[in-house]
Amino acid sequence: MVPVRPPRPDAAAAEVAASAAAAPDWAALADLARSCVACPELAATRQHVVVGDVPLTGRPRLVVVGEAPGATEDETGRPFVGRSGALLDLLLGEAGLARAEVAVLNIVKCRPPGNRTPKAPEVARCSGWLRRQLDLLGAEVVVALGLSSAKWFLGPRTVLGQVRGRAHDVDGRAVWVTYHPSAAIRFGPNGAPRAALAADLHAVAASL
């Protein structure tokens, strides 16, 4: 079993982790997360804390975890609603997985300025929210989209191309790693990332 080892926490990360762990349910956790100011730069520039989408009824069939909100997500307060979200919805559907059955989260809940990659301290400070979300959702199957998410689950030396295509046991969960939809868009409809993402989602669906 591979344990989750997010970046080394600081005092702010420890405070977030304690607050998140004490949240009794999803609604309470969402309220706490929306007022989070653990990352001053992100708190100063965000429009919304993007807590995540969960099914209206019942436990999700699987949990999808991306990197961080983009511009559209920051404007709407919902994850994966821009171009990447549209492609994710399409490929989930082709694999027989309806978006309404899936929980969609990010490792970082606030948009980094200019859509830059989240910094290690930001990932560490936000980790408490994600860990509690996974616990509250009873997540048994997780799809990590992109390298930042893959590293959160599998460690900092993760090479995406070497770990995709199969499930990894992480804290008792089956974690699948694959390309982020933004990479699929960047390389085009006939590019290798899109084909890999589609194949991996079909494999995940077949495992459920």
pLDDT in tens, 138-184: 989 999 999 999 999 999 999 999 999 999 999 999 999 999 999 99
Beta bridge partners, 178, equal 145
The pLDDT value recorded for residue 10 is 84
CA distances from 200 to 1, 151, 167, 196 (A): 21, 18, 10, 6
pLDDT digits (tens, 9 = 90+) for 117-141: 999 999 999 999 999 999 999 989 9
pLDDT of residue 134: 96
Instruction: Evaluate the CA torsion angle 131, 124, 166, 79 in order and state its sign.
Output: positive
Cα atoms in the Cβ-side hemisphere of radius 13 Å centred on 82:
14
Q: What is the pLDDT of residue 7?
A: 52
**Span 24-32, mean pLDDT?**
96
Give the integer Cα–Cα distance in Å for 33 and 60: 21
What per-residue confidence (pLDDT) applies to 160? 94
Within 13 Å and on the Cβ side, how many CA atoms surround 22? 9
pLDDT of residue 3: 47
Domains of the chain (ranges; CATH) run 11-207 (3.40.470.10)
User: In Å, how far are 82, 143, 152, 162, 198 from 92, measured between CA atoms?
Assistant: 15, 11, 22, 23, 8
pLDDT the model gives residue 8: 58
**Is the entire prediction scored with pTM above 0.85?**
yes
Tens digits of per-residue pLDDT, 1-23?
Answer: 444 454 556 899 999 999 999 99
Question: What are the pLDDT digits (tens) for 52-103?
Answer: 999 987 789 999 999 999 999 999 999 999 999 999 999 999 999 999 999 9
